[in-house]
Chains A and B, each alone.
Chain A
Amino acid sequence: MNKHYLAFAGNPNAGKTTLFNAITGSHQHVGNYPGITVDRKEGSTILGDSKIDIVDLPGCYSLTAYTQEELVARQVLVEERPALVVNVVDATKLERHLYLTMQFLELGVPVMLALNMMDDVRSKGIQINVKQLQKDLGCPAVGTVARTGAGKEELLRTAVEYAQQRNGEWRPLEISYGPDVDPVLERLSAMIAEADILQQKYPPRWVALKHIEGDDSIIEQGRSIDPELSEQIEAEVQILRDHCMKTLNTFPEAIIADYRYGFINALLKKSVFATQPQSARLDLTDKIDQVLTHKVAGPVLMLALLYAMFHITFTLGEYPMELTHNFFALLAGGASAIIPDGVIQSLVVSGVIDGVGGVLGFVPLIMIMFIIIAFLEDSGYMARMAYMLDKIFRSFGLHGSSVMPFIISGGIAGGCAVPGVMATRTLRSPKEKLATIITAPFMPCGAKIPVFLLLIGAFFSEHRAAVMFSITLGAWVMALLVARLLRSTLIRGESTPFVMELPPYRLPTMQGVLIHMWERTWEYIRKAGTVVLAISILLWAAMTFPGLNQEVEQTFIAQQIILEQQLDASTNQAQQEILREKIVELEHEHSLAALKNSAAGRLGQMLEPLSSLAGFNWRTNIALIGGVAAKEVIVSTLGTAYSLGETDIEVSGDLMSRMQNDKDWNHASAISAIIFVLLYAPCFVTIVVMARESSWSWAMFALIFNTTLAFGLASAAYHIVTAVA
């Protein structure tokens, strides 16, 4: 069987991924390019007796090396040498889409065009003379409609045929870039050809062109291979640059771009004809935009949509989440019944089952969330949201697209930072993305809410709504201010240009949405699953070991035996009741003693002198330490620490009254605790996802920085409120 390796490439919104999905169907998988968060999508299909492997390169507008996507696309072409690049273009916008095609042709890699959206071409009354286009570009072109799959067989047949015909040969297209650039280009190519640098990988004229365009990646490579020649070349380029500035007041790379567009225009004049006037008519997208980006209706509809989306996710997500929760509770119950009491049981139940349950509990939420995100993205509305909100977010050093991660993380109280951080993937501006990743976990996620409800119930029960609202508002203020702070210090730098396409509205394909959803969900299960399980076991150990010493343990057991004997002996109903209560109390004291003696408990006590600055006693400390594993743990650990056993929020009345009666708790420490819980370390699942979207060092930075910030603010608040009261 013949094997062919093709690369799909094209502008974002060209329908490239839709075509890739239509061709490969379920025969695809997603990986990662080493070191960066760009997805590497691969798939395969069979055509006659050929197996066709396809890599779906990330969408990009150009083959320079400014963005990760472009760099990756270029690397694959040069390092992996696919037999053919299938350049997917939106045939209604050939003028712009062919700009990337030109760059493939300049590089010389075997390329063919998939003229996508041919149905739109027809309905817009455009005629394309495909034969003429093929002749002028010197490569095959096939019309397709990715959404219906029309033309895909012909595309593949042509691709295989042409790949065989070219047999991997690179044939760089040489066009003129005008009287200023051409002579220098020729001179430099001759120098490069003679010195024989980079020739294994790139054609000499292309290397020269990239030097003139100021392509950092190629210049770097040149320097490392032949510093002397590089210096000569750079000097020549500088002379050209000065000359262009002086005589034409422009940059050489701008001249090169002009000539590329000139070439494209000349070519399109011969092969593309409009049979009806194009500019006069408003298409559907324009009409929709008149409403959806209207200066009043636009923002109102956007807020309504965001709220609806949020509401749908979390109400719809509640049932499957409940189900998973119950399933794992059942599993834990089963395990407790089978495995005898002791360390092993505790490890399986509290370490493994709770850990895995914690991870999988998020899965339904992530699935629903990403169906909605994929829908918004593929439909074209996401770009409009960024467009409408950019002004606000930009003033804090973020990007219009930062809104989605913030909202999902709990910008409307009750979200979850895990899918929130994962949603930053749509941000193509690295600095803005990083600032968003670090600040999104400030939002009041669903797991922080029970803690707030407990504290509000205990200390501010008369101002419930007002306090909840202030918490959400406070989170937004902090997230934006900290983003601003980071963007003017650690993540300093020019904001990434906003130059962004507003794609036409389209109804997303079911297949595209589902594939997108499944990719994200699977990635989450795979990555978070392994790491979180390990961490969960670690935290379990910290809260379990070292156990109580033999003597204390014996005393508890002895007391329990005495009480149980008394219970057995008793005949008086009232007395039995009292004894039963005493046994429960003893059990709670027992677990409190064990917790207090554990590594986490000792750490909590050790930290008390420090934490008292913010008004936290050691019991609170233990709960907060546990909260790093998952914020859900805070309330239940507080329950254990107040020797109430594990507490559910539903029956937390006892805990509330104990806290009200504890002299360590008052309004000041409650406010301080609310601030701390809102802002401190993201939970471990979030940290793992953060590391995945940025790097482990940034995730660790967030852990330390957010905790320090939270502690500073909590302490300040504690002292101010204490002084005022």
Chain B
Amino acid sequence: MHCSIRHLQLHDKARIISISAGGELGRRIRDMGLVTGTEIEIVGRAPLKDPVAIRLRGFTLTLRNNEADHITVEKLEPTP
């Protein structure tokens, strides 16, 4: 099922399908290692639900919900 990062729950894992951001936002996202095919995990949300903290490639980064909206992911089933 495809959705944006905003709709993932805490501890959900997902794989990035596409990124629609261009310009500076797109570049920043890519520089931090968010590219198509990357596996991510939601590791936290700020007390006011925004920004969101995600884990990828062994480190944690945060982005705002409206920035995360540009990233479409495919939810991965939790590994048993």
Q: A interface vs B, CB < 8 Å?
A: 61-62, 64, 66, 92-93, 95-96, 99, 249-251, 253-254, 257-258, 261, 278-279, 285-286, 289, 293-296, 298-299, 383, 387-388, 390-392, 394, 494, 496-503
Give 21 pairs: A residue, B residue, CB < 8 Å, sorted on A. Answer: A96-B33, A250-B36, A251-B22, A251-B26, A257-B35, A261-B33, A261-B38, A383-B62, A387-B46, A391-B46, A392-B48, A394-B64, A494-B24, A497-B29, A498-B63, A499-B25, A499-B62, A500-B61, A501-B60, A502-B60, A502-B61
Tell me which of A64, A99, A296, A387 contacts B62 (CB under 8 A).
A387
Instruction: Name B55's closest neighbour in chain A (CB-CB).
Output: A279
Whether B62 and A502, one on each chain, are in contact in the complex, defined by CB atoms closer than 8 angstroms, is yes
B48–A502 touching, CB < 8 Å: no
Contact of A250 with B32 in the complex, beta carbons under 8 Å: no
A96 smallest CB distance to B (angstroms): 4
Query: With an 8 A cutoff between CB atoms, is B4 at the interface?
Result: no
Contact between chains at A500 and B67 (CB < 8 Å):
no
- The CA-CA distance from A136 to B80 in the complex, in Å, is 36
**Interface band, chain B:** 35 or more
A384 to B35, CA, bound (A): 24
- Pick the residue among A62, A95, A502 that contacts B58 (CB under 8 A): A95
Q: How many A-B residue pairs have CB under 8 A?
A: 117
Given A388-B48, A497-B28, A501-B62, 6 further pairs, Cβ under 8 A: A93-B58, A96-B57, A279-B41, A295-B45, A499-B32, A500-B63
In the assembled complex, which residues on chain A have CB atoms less than 8 Å from the CB atom of B3?
none
Closest to A400 in B: B51
Q: Which 5 A-B pairs have the closest CB atoms?
A: A391-B48, A257-B30, A61-B31, A62-B31, A502-B60
Residue of B nearest to A495 (CB): B64
The CA of A498 and the CA of B26, in the complex, are separated in Å by: 12
Q: For residue A124, which residue of chain B has the nearest CB?
A: B58
Q: Across the interface, which residues of A come within 8 angstroms of B30, CB to CB? A: 253-254, 257
Interface residues of B (CB under 8 A from A): 18-19, 22, 24-33, 35-38, 41, 43-51, 53, 57-64, 67
Q: Which one of B18, B44, B48, B60 contacts A249 once the chains associate, using CB atoms below 8 Å? A: B18
Task: Please state if B36 and A498 are interface contacts (CB–CB under 8 Å).
Answer: no
* Chain A residues near B60 (CB-CB < 8 A): 285, 501-502
Q: Which of B19, B43, B45 contacts A286 (CB 8 A)?
A: B43
Are B57 and A499 interface neighbours, CB within 8 A?
no
User: Which residues from chain B contact A500 at a C-beta distance below 8 Å?
Assistant: 61-63
**Nearest-CB residue, chain A, relative to B25:** A497
Write out the residue numbers on chain B whose beta carbons fall within 8 Å of the beta carbon of A499.
Answer: 25, 28-29, 32, 61-63, 67
Complexed CA–CA distance, A249 and B49 (Å): 30
Asked if A497 meets B44 with Cβ closer than 8 Å, knowing A96-B32, A253-B30, A257-B30, the reply is: no
CB distance from A231 to the nearest CB of B (A): 22
Interchain CB contact under 8 A, B47 and A96: no
Q: Please, which residues of chain B bring their CB within 8 A of the CB of A390?
A: 46, 50-51, 64
Q: How far does the Cβ of B47 sit from chain A's closest Cβ, in whole Å?
A: 4
By beta carbon, the residue of chain A nearest B58 is: A93
Chain B residues with CB under 8 Å of A278's CB are 58
Question: Which residue of B18, B27, B63 contacts A250 across the interface (Cβ within 8 Å)?
Answer: B18
Query: Which residues from B are CB-within-8-Å of A286?
Result: 43
Name the A residues within 8 Å of B51 (CB-CB). Answer: 387, 390-391, 498
Kindly state the separation between the CA atoms of A391 and B50 in the bound complex, as whole angstroms.
Answer: 6
Q: Closest approach, in angstroms, between the C-beta of B38 and any C-beta of chain A?
A: 8
> Which chain A residues lie closer than 8 Å to B48 at the CB level?
388, 391-392
**With a CB–CB cut-off of 8 A, which chain B residues contact A93?**
57-59
CA distance A610 to B26 in the complex (A): 52
Q: CA–CA, A387 to B54, complex, Å?
A: 12
Known: A254-B26, A388-B46, A390-B46. A502 touches B32 (CB 8 A): no
Residues of B within 8 A of A249 (CB): 18
- Report the minimum CB–CB distance from B80 to chain A (whole Å): 12
Instruction: Give chain A residues whose Cβ lies under 8 Å from the Cβ of B38.
Output: 261
Which chain B positions have C-beta within 8 A of A96? 32-33, 57-59
Q: Once the chains are docked, how many angstroms separate the CA of A500 from the CA of B35?
A: 16
| C-alpha spacing A99/B34, complex, angstroms | 12
A494 to B21 Cα, complex, angstroms: 14
Assess whether B61 is in contact with A293, with CB atoms less than 8 Å apart. Answer: no
B50 contacts across to A, CB distance below 8 A: 390-391
Once A387-B53, A498-B62, A502-B53 are accepted as A-B contacts, the answer to whether A296 and B47 lie under 8 Å apart by CB is: yes
Complex CA–CA separation, A390 to B47 (angstroms)? 10
B17 CB, nearest partner CB in chain A, Å = 11
In the complex, residue of chain B having the shortest beta-carbon distance to the beta carbon of A279: B41
**How far, in Å, is A385 (CB) from chain B's closest CB?**
10
Residues on A with C-beta less than 8 A from B19 are: 250, 254
Contacts of A61 in B (CB 8 A): 28, 31-32
The CA-CA distance from A502 to B62 in the complex, in Å, is 7
CA distance A298 to B49 in the complex (A): 13
**B residues less than 8 Å from A250 (CB atoms):** 18-19, 36
| A298 to B53 CA separation, bound complex (whole angstroms) | 15
Cβ distance B10 to chain A, nearest Cβ, rounded Å:
11
Chain A proximity of B14: nearest CB distance (Å): 14
CA distance A390 to B63 in the complex (A): 10
Contact with B57, one of A66, A95, A392 (Cβ below 8 angstroms) = A95
Contacts of B26 in A (CB 8 A): 251, 253-254
B27 and A62 contact, CB distance less than 8 A: yes
Task: Check A254–B61 contact: CB distance below 8 A.
Answer: no
CA distance A524 to B44 in the complex (A): 39
How many whole Å from A517's CB to the nearest CB in chain B?
Answer: 27
Give the docked Cα–Cα distance between A499 and B31 (Å): 10
- Residues of B near A296 (CB, < 8 A) are 47
Chain A residues with CB under 8 Å of B61's CB are: 499-502
Q: How far is the CA of A437 from the CA of B62 in the complex (A)?
A: 24
Distance (Å) between the CB of A289 and the closest chain B CB? 7
